[in-house]
């Protein structure tokens, strides 16, 4: 039996599990490659930029979420961070509204 990672009804035109599995693997490899490049270049720091609700939305029972699709990414981030001797800065955007401010 397949584990469903997608919330709600499946899209009849696309298998959400396959999309998630492929995207998650690519995300993990990209994260590992960034840490490898930083180590290989003796970088003093690594900056990670992302746009996702990686933490908070799955702590609230009001969202209807049963699990986080970011478990692997968070575990890899923690593991790679522990092995990296430099600083790691994570800039994360999450739920917000678009505002174009032209003062």
Q: What tens digit of pLDDT does each residue of 31-80 get?
A: 999 999 999 999 999 999 988 877 665 556 665 666 678 889 999 999 99
Is 41 a domain residue?
yes
Residue 93 backbone zone (phi > 0: left; psi -120 to 50: alpha; other: beta) = beta
Evaluate if pTM is beyond 0.85: no
Is 66 a domain residue?
yes
| Residue 79: count of CB within 10 angstroms of its CB | 13
pLDDT at 71: 87
Is 79 a domain residue?
yes
pLDDT at 86: 97
pLDDT at 9: 58
Is 36 a domain residue?
yes
The pLDDT confidence band at residue 1, using thresholds 50, 70 and 90, is very low
List b or e across 26-43, with b for residues whose CB sees 16 or more CB atoms inside 10 angstroms: ebbeebeebbeebeeeeb
Number of domains in the chain: 1
Is 11 a domain residue?
no
- Alpha-carbon distance 86 to 89, whole Å? 10
- Alpha-carbon distance 27 to 48, whole Å? 12
Whether 28 has a pLDDT exceeding 90, the answer reads: yes
Is 8 a domain residue?
no
Is 74 a domain residue?
yes
Domain that holds residue 75: 16-93
At residue 75, φ and ψ (nearest 5 deg) are -65, -40
pLDDT at 56: 61
Average pLDDT score, the chain: 80
Q: For the CA atoms of 57, 59, 60, 64, what is the dihedral angle to 10 degrees?
A: 70
For the chain, how far is it from start to end, CA to CA, in angstroms?
55
Is 65 a domain residue?
yes
């Amino acid at each position: 039996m397949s584990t469903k990672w997608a919330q709600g009804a499946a899209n009849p035109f696309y298998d959400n599990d396959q999309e998630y599995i492929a995207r998650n693997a690519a995300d993990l490899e990209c994260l590992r490659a960034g840490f490898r490049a930083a180590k290989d270049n003796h970088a003093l720091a690594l900056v990670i930029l992302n746009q996702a609700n990686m933490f908070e939305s799955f702590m609230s029972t009001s969202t209807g979420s049963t699990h986080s699709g970011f478990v692997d990414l968070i575990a890899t981030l923690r593991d790679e961070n522990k092995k990296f001797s430099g600083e790691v800065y994570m800039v994360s955007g999450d739920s917000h509204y678009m505002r174009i401010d032209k003062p």
